[in-house]
Chain A
């Protein structure tokens, strides 16, 4: 059934369709409606899950770590400061190889306090070993939750969904809502033989000496590498069931494009409207949305970008002392294989609006010669 719902509720509906058994919740703007609706769904019996209220985000993630270790499908959601408070447990979930799904609504990090969007909260968790998937529409958000559980349980790594605050979390649009009965053939109920069980006691999380720890880390990396194909396969299978697929990346009008704008999140969507305008003017330009950030789709990105003459990367984030984070990743994907100029742009920090005018300015600058390749090109900053 199609309904007009907000992005946060698209997350909730995705969880409802996924036969989740434990949900933990600690509220934070702009995430709160995700768990609000889930608590109503649990109370109304629409979801047969234990809903656990906790006293901090650290506990929220710890609660689902416990649940997942006990072998049940588990979910939580957060934003910004909340995600950062989870940091230690983000690592724990990976090391314990727990297939938890978490939705992070991108919110700029304080101080000063901000409730508006940018990607520094999730991208600063880049190296913890969670898969990260950036969504741009409510439909994609709901569908990706369902996909995420299947991916996580296949590779035994946790998955983080990432949504822009307000531009997605609070945006109402049409979603074809998935029902649990529909989803079950695609995503059967979760079970695992490796779990905490009071009837059959084992020790988990014990000390690993230098003789063993190294190999466990190697296996996490192997699982990450394997997850690239798993994401593709799960997405393809989802497409067979529901007629919608999203890919690791989404190229748009890139085939003969001389310039390609690399985007993520809601900016990817607005950029396509700008690409169409510029194509109408006869400009050979395209865009590439990076949907899956971890594992980074090196080959897929290289394949699309290698045909271009110039690449511009739009970052709604910054690694202080370096550059935009997507910019670094794209550069490393192309390193040593091509000499196409890659130009980095930073915009939209702290919820600053990224309008078609802003994107057009970036495109024009990228096509001209005025943008130095090694420096950061700040768009819209007041100096």
Chain B
């Protein structure tokens, strides 16, 4: 089973990202589950959601405490929330940032991939400049960096889950897929 935890802020689309990701894996024949750690969400408050992927039936119906991979929609969360808590060594952190994380301590234990999803979302008019909706772009980056799920499955899942701006969401996903940068020497084995 693969367990993925998504960290974001209310309004960025973290919860829907975890659902789209589950749907993408479903399109590739996997058993899936996604759900939010439901708080009383407000725009800007930290949000966590979960995705499980498996070749067999998924029985665990509880939060994910030791994820295999992380998706991070807001880089500032690294400084305010212990987002790597429980993350397994060798796991991916796919993060929305315009900074290079070369030299980061995180690189010693994890595989890091960065994408400027804010810029991509703004470019395609997703959300506003102040609060871009970055979930579709970050999923393109996740597919591009981890190769765990195909780009087409992600695009098809977005088509199913996101009713508006379908063409621009697809473009944002594709651009993030091809522009995601892997920090350091590239992926290592889990």
Contacts and interface: CB of A to CB of B under 8 A. Distances in A.
Which bracket fits the contact residues of B?
A: 10 to 19
Contacts, number: 63
Contacts of A273: 59-60
A355 B63 contact: yes
B62 A172 contact: no
A353 B32 contact: no
Nearest to B37: A166
B124 interface: no
B20 to A, nearest CB: 9
B62 A4 contact: no
A115 interface: yes
A267 B59 CA distance: 9
A2 B61 CA distance: 20
B19 interface: yes
B35 A167 contact: yes
B61 A170 contact: no
A296 interface: no
A37 to B, nearest CB: 14
A66 interface: no
B35 A170 contact: yes
A174 B31 contact: yes
Contact of A172 (B34, B38, B40, B63): B34
Interface of B: 19, 22-23, 26, 31-36, 38, 40, 58-63, 65
5 contacts: A167-B61, A171-B61, A172-B35, A353-B62, A355-B62
**Of residues A115, A168, A173, which shows the largest number of chain B Cβ atoms within 10 Å of its Cβ?**
A173
Given A266-B61, A355-B65, A356-B60, A4 B36 contact: no
7 nearest CB pairs, A to B: A266-B61, A171-B35, A273-B59, A172-B34, A4-B23, A355-B62, A166-B38
Contact of A170 (B26, B38, B60): B38
A172 B19 contact: yes
Contacts of B38: 30, 115-116, 166, 170
Contact of B61 (A6, A168, A172, A174): A168
Interface string A266-299: 1101101100000000000000000000000000
A354 interface: yes
A269 B59 contact: yes
